[in-house]
Structure 1
Amino acid sequence: MKKPHEVSSIVDQIPAGEWSSERAASFEAALEAINHAFGAYSALIAKAEAHGADEAQISQLKAGRESCIRDREALSPDDIAAVAEIRHRYTVLTRRLRSET
């Protein structure tokens, strides 16, 4: 049984008989894109807190970071279209967030 803080292995999430290197790499890249956005949000939150930003701005950034968590948990390697969409969306988001730091 996994502990609450443990992250599932990519291999554990792919049903038997449907494994392919390309599919695993796509899923891993999508997860990595989400993780990069999470990190960018964390950097912006730290910067906002250090510079005394208003609570509404900090709350908005934290909500964005929570969206990363929800999307990461909901992403399934079975949904090839969602994997591609998440990878694209989070890559674009990360670029935008990093431009704000």
Structure 2
Amino acid sequence: MTMEEQLRGLIDKFNKKMAEDEKMRDEVKHLTKTVNIDLDTEKYSFKLENAEIFDFSCTALDEADVVITSTPENLQKLLDKELRPMRAYLTKKITIKGKIQDLMFLKKFF
């Protein structure tokens, strides 16, 4: 499965969870964010608003509230749970520009 397919799957999972769980939806509905994922050779972006992720694209936005930078290999390890998010962050296998609180808040929904 390609990285694009995996990211689309995670977005679908998030949106489904938000549609089905009113309590979770209420927790996140106040967030409005734009996100870039920069994997050097691959770039992705999406928007979050009203507890829904939309406008997923295989290009980076000119400006984003949150920018996640890594490599395809390290992101794959994170997705496969072979690399823990905090360890990846502390060892600089993933860097995050923006408010880390937003990402820490959102990670519980995936």
Same fold, TM exceeding 0.5? no
Looking at secondary structure, tell me which structure has more helix per residue.
1
TM-score (norm: length of structure 2): 0.33
- Compare CA radii of gyration and give the structure with the larger one: 1
